[in-house]
Amino acid sequence: MSSRESILNAIRGIEKEEKPLPELPLFGISEDVETGFRKSIEGNKGYIVSEQEFLNWLSEASFPKVYSASSSYASISTLSLPEDPHDLEDLNLAILEGQFGVAENGAIWLDDQQLPHRAIPFITEHLVIILKKENLIPTLHQAYDRIGLDYSGFGLFVAGPSKTADIEQSLVIGAHGAKSLRVVLC
Partner 1 sequence: MSHPQAATEFLKDQAKAKWHDETLWFVRDKRDRISKTIPEWEELRNLASQIKENVLSKLDVYLEEFERNAQKNGIQVHWAKDAEEHNQIVFSILQKQKCTAIVKSKSILTEECHLNPYLEKNGIEVVDTDLGERIVQFLNQPPSHIVLPAIHLKKGEIAELFHEKLHTEKGNEDPTYLTHAARLHLREKFLKAKVAITGVNFAVVETGEFVVCTNEGNADMGVHLADVHIACMGIEKIIPRRKDLGVFLRLLARSATGQPVTNYNSHFRSPSPGKEIHLILVDNGRTAQLAREKFRNSLKCIRCGACMNTCPIYRRSGGYSYGSTVPGPIGSILSPGLDMKKHSTLPFASTLCGSCSDVCPVKINIHEQLYEWRQEITKTHGELGKGLSMKLANGIFKSPLAYKISGNLMRTALKTLPKSLIYHPINSWGKGRNLPETPKESFKDWYLKNRK
Within 45-84, the residues that bind partner 1 by CB under 8 A are none
* C-alpha span between 134 and 101 (Å, rounded): 9
Site size for partner 1 (CB under 8 A): 74
Residues 84-103 that bind partner 1 (CB under 8 A): 85-86, 89, 102
Q: Quick one: which of 32, 42, 51, 145 contacts partner 1 (CB under 8 A)?
A: 145
The residue (of 12 and 59) whose beta carbon lies closer to partner 1 is 12
Q: If DSSP codes are grouped into helix, strand and coil, which group holds residue 173?
A: strand
For 86, the 3-state DSSP assignment is: helix
Stretch near partner 1 under the rule CB under 8 A, chosen from 52-60, 61-69, 92-100, 135-143: 135-143
CB 104 within 8 A of CB 38: no
Least distance in angstroms from the C-beta of 98 to partner 1: 14
Residue from 93, 123, 128, 136 in contact with partner 1 (CB under 8 A): 123
183 interacts with partner 1 by CB under 8 A: no
The nearest distance, CB 82 to partner 1, in angstroms, is 13
Cα distance between the two ends of the chain: 59
* CA 37 – CA 41 distance, rounded (Å): 6
Pattern 13-52, binding to partner 1, x per CB under 8 A? xx-xxxxxxx-xx-x--x---------x--xx--------
Cβ atoms of residues 163 and 169 within 8 Å: no
- Structural contact between residues 125 and 92, judged by C-beta atoms closer than 8 angstroms: yes
CB distance 101 to 154 below 8 Å: no
Question: In the complex, what is the shortest distance from the CB of residue 17 to partner 1, in angstroms, rounded to a whole number?
Answer: 7
CA–CA separation, 160 vs 18, rounded Å? 40
User: Binding to partner 1 (CB under 8 A): which residues in 148-177?
Assistant: 148-149, 151-170, 172, 174-177
